[in-house]
Amino acid sequence: MEQQQEAQNKRLTPLAVAALGLLAERPMHPYEMYQVLMHRREDRLVKIRPGTLYHTVGRLAAADLVKAAGTERDGNRPERTTYAILEAGREALETELKKLLAQPAVEYPSFPQAVAEAHNLPAGVVLGLLGQRIAALEAHAAELEADQRNAISRGVEQRFWVEVSYQQAITKAELDWIRQLHSDITTGALPWQPDEFFDQTARNKL
């Protein structure tokens, strides 16, 4: 039981992985880490809040994966503690990355469940909602393309923004699938209960 608890405590959250990745580059204080993560748009990959990030760095320090390396003061602002990664932190980061890269995780995203239960909605409603999702995904695809152009224009090596091309591939695949589903429902290739069926069912319940 104690070994299971110890293993649980050593598991790295996505934000902890991001924090260790930054500190593997150079020592930073948590606010600088937050700024760098937001500048790199890593909020698309992991939920980032300043308070949560400070708490995460504190947990990494308590686990002896990082250490306080000094303090600095900017004008009248409070002192900020700079953290550096320890060898144990590098090993933990390497172990977690190897596991994440090699082993697909069952993440239970919400969209597949929504698709599985979409038959509970009328065809017209489903088509309208899918149209909204298509528009949102198209906007996201445009943002990713802009990020890619920006990285190329700045001469950033592709290995530092390779996740953008992955997100582009995933977004394109989802767009293609949803557009086909939208077309199949519209043309009747995929039979769907019409709006009138649900209206009649509602009246029968009165």
Residue range 20-37, pLDDT digits in tens: 999 999 999 999 999 999
Which ranges constitute the DSSP H helices of the chain? 2-10, 14-25, 30-39, 50-62, 87-102, 110-117, 123-153, 162-187, 195-204
Strands 80-85 and 66-72, sheet pairing: antiparallel
The dihedral built from the CA positions of residue 47, 52, 53 and 59, taken in this order, carries a sign that is negative
Mean pLDDT computed over 143-162: 93
**Cα dihedral 65→69→74→78 (10° resolution):** 70
User: Which pTM value belongs to this model?
Assistant: 0.79
Bridge partners (DSSP) of residue 70 are 82
Structure confidence by residue, pLDDT tens digits, 42-99: 998 999 999 999 999 999 999 999 999 988 766 667 788 999 999 999 999 999 999 9
